Amino acid sequence: MKKVAIIGRPNVGKSSLFNRLLKKRDAITSDVSGTTRDIKKGIVDILENREFELLDTGGIDYSDELFSKVGDKSLKAAKEADIIVYMVDGKTIPDDEDKQRFWELQALNKPIALLVNKIDNDKEQQERFWEFSEFGANDIFPISVSHNRGLSPFYKWLEEHIAPNKIQNNIVDDEDIPLELLLENMDEEEEDKDIKVAIIGRVNTGKSSLLNALLKEDRVVVSDVAGTTIDPIDETIEYNDYNITFVDTAGIRRRSKILGIEKYALNRTENMLKDADIALLLIDATTGVTELDERIAGLIDKYKLGALIVVNKWDIRGEKEYKEAIEDIRDKLKFLHYAPIITISAKSGQRVNKILDHIINIYKRYSYRIPTSKLNDAIKMAISRHHVPSHNGQVVKIKYATQFATKHPRIALIVNKPHLLHFSYKRYLTNFLREQFDFEGVPIELIARKRGERDNIEEE
């Protein structure tokens, strides 16, 4: 990290500039000459992606023994610094000792700026500032720290001489994580054993046949006539201590063919999906994925449901090979890449019994809350393998992460510059967490936020 030293005689405004750059009142300021005697240090990030260590030195004055020691310390700090800011009082005439000292520091061949302070208005700048050209400074700035005047050109000069932070600075720091977040998962939450499962798909893909096979009874009318089911039908069974409620939804047609009561059925289906946990998306193996299947699958993404893709009529699919069929589904339903796929025959009962185990496993992941410490260990590991990309030289740092919701899992990333965290990196983190914590079949949502915006997360 670069070191920037502020040098000058007593009472020229060095500590006021130090406080201004630090954005807090850290150094004591006073009209009494020689108030600052020791070197004060602070980290400045006023230039967004650039940080530097700022040194506030005592005034250079050799009028007595104490001030001489302070002056020697200040000059030593200037020689050890990477950048020198020499400050003079613009309400006085240029001092010969100031000029001599500036030239000595200039000979160090380090970036050095001459700041003429207390130039409070244009009149003073026109009448007195030109006198300080005698210093022969390449970079000279008329400023007024107390009036916050003329500082922007000086800040730009600093930016030219301070390189952007290194990417390594974006690794999660455990000390950033609030203690209450680390403690919040110590008590296990009581598991909810009620699962709502929506069965969705095009007309005549076998939704009613699948429900009957799952219930092991003819609960729903099955017919070759497309659109037999109009009203969603709820049916609950108990399986491995879970209560699974199925809804056999009305088949969804193309929009041009949705008329009257079927349009009403589509609206009912959408309303039902808002309350579901998991969706079984039925695909007809004899036709493969159609454009309408893709639109229906979009409802799963819209409502952030756990998902299982069920390929029905596998026994009459023809000559299509398993690998070819799966690749076709994955290619056309890329946004459901996390959903497992099972091939079945609802009519013969082939592999139908495995669906219930899939539902329970997906639901456990859907309602799982990652302990904050484990979550941040995983985020730290992900960052160490692939650093957060900077944006036009600006460093993006993930301070910590916390999961604030389940069903579906929603995770807040506390970031210094949330708007600069690229969507592709969020996708990388999502996939990394999916592998680390086995979120197969479950959508994960990452939301970048600044610290203190936690209350607004729920509204996203």
How far apart (Å, rounded) are the C-alpha atoms in residues 114 and 150? 13
Both tokens assigned to 266:
């589509």
Token look-up 């890449």 returns: 337
- According to the 3-state scheme, what is the secondary structure of 132-160? HHHHCCCCEEECECCCCECHHHHHHHHHH
- Decide: 172 and 376 in contact? Cβ < 8 Å: yes
How far apart (Å, rounded) are the C-alpha atoms in residues 446 and 460? 11
Q: What is the pTM of this model?
A: 0.58
Look at residue 94 and give its three-state secondary structure. coil
Query: What is the amino acid identity at position 309?
Result: I
Token look-up 């589509």 returns: 266
Look at residue 424 and give its three-state secondary structure. helix
How far apart (Å, rounded) are the C-alpha atoms in residues 95 and 78? 19
Both tokens assigned to 85:
């800011």
- Decide: 44 and 22 in contact? Cβ < 8 Å: yes
- Tens digit of pLDDT at every position of the chain (460 positions): 788 989 888 888 888 888 888 775 443 333 433 333 356 778 887 555 677 888 887 666 544 443 445 456 777 878 888 999 999 999 988 888 889 889 988 999 999 999 999 998 888 888 888 889 989 999 999 999 988 888 889 988 988 888 776 544 566 666 677 766 665 554 445 668 899 999 988 878 888 888 888 888 654 434 344 444 434 457 889 999 999 998 755 444 444 444 444 454 456 567 668 889 999 999 999 999 988 888 888 889 889 999 999 999 999 888 888 999 999 999 999 999 999 999 999 999 999 999 999 999 999 999 999 999 899 999 999 999 899 988 887 889 999 999 989 999 999 999 999 999 999 999 999 999 999 999 999 999 999 998 866 544 443 4
Look at residue 13 and give its three-state secondary structure. coil
What is the distance between the terminal CA atoms of the chain, rounded to a whole angstrom? 37
